[in-house]
Amino acid sequence: MEDLEELIRRVSAKALSAEGRLSPALGTEELVQAEKQLGFPLPPVLARLYHEVANGGFGPDYQLFPLLGEGRTAVSVYREERSMSLSCDAAFWPERVLPILDWGCGMYAAVDCQSSDGVVLLFEPNAIDNDDWHLAWFVDSTSLIDWLETWLSGGGWYEDADGGGDMQPWEMARARLSGTR
């Protein structure tokens, strides 16, 4: 897919320009290990970012988590959030939703690895009452490709004074959370 090749090239160029130096990308065996630990495959675009650009450390604001490695990684944060979610009375973190970036204040960017396009979600739990966790999930972008294009163009909600005020709720949140038990 030529357009994807160009997107990966542009992401890599912007990441290198912004950071000066990137962490080494993951090898094929490391990607397989991560997917085994997660229990599900990564969307192809996300796998290519970690395999061809870098093991995190680039992207909007606080940057993508490393997939594997020391400290907080996408795999470790996913496993921690799922474990905590399953131990609560009301689940708050759906299965196969991989956190890729910590926005701070409990907010995450996450990729729905169950969707073919890698829908990018915003988890914003700060205004939730009464365990209505489905209300904490919003669609940031209908695909990881579009999310990356938005970052490349400098037009993300995190660049806007509104802070994402026009984001739509994730309609599948209630069903995906109820199916996590």
Q: How far, in Å, CA of 11 to CA of 16, rounded?
A: 8
Q: What is the pLDDT of residue 119?
A: 98
Q: What is the pLDDT of residue 181?
A: 44
Residue 25 and residue 50 in contact, taking contact as beta carbons nearer than 8 Å:
yes
Q: What is the pLDDT of residue 47?
A: 97
pTM: 0.94
Residue 170 sits in a domain whose CATH number is 3.40.1580.10
What's the token pair of residue 18?
């912004």
Q: What is the pLDDT of residue 164?
A: 53
Q: What is the pLDDT of residue 158?
A: 86
What's the token pair of residue 62?
């606080």
What's the token pair of residue 88?
């609560």
Q: What is the pLDDT of residue 167?
A: 87
pLDDT along the chain (181 residues), means of 10: 87 92 96 98 97 96 95 97 92 97 96 96 91 94 96 88 73 88 44
Q: How far, in Å, CA of 120 to CA of 128, rounded?
A: 20
DSSP letters, 89-131, are: SS--S-TTEEEEEEEETTEEEEEETTSTT--EEEE--TT--TT
Q: What is the pLDDT of residue 166?
A: 76
Q: What is the pLDDT of residue 131?
A: 83
CA–chain centroid gap for 26, Å, is: 17
> What is the domain extent for residue 111?
2-178
Domain count, the chain: 1
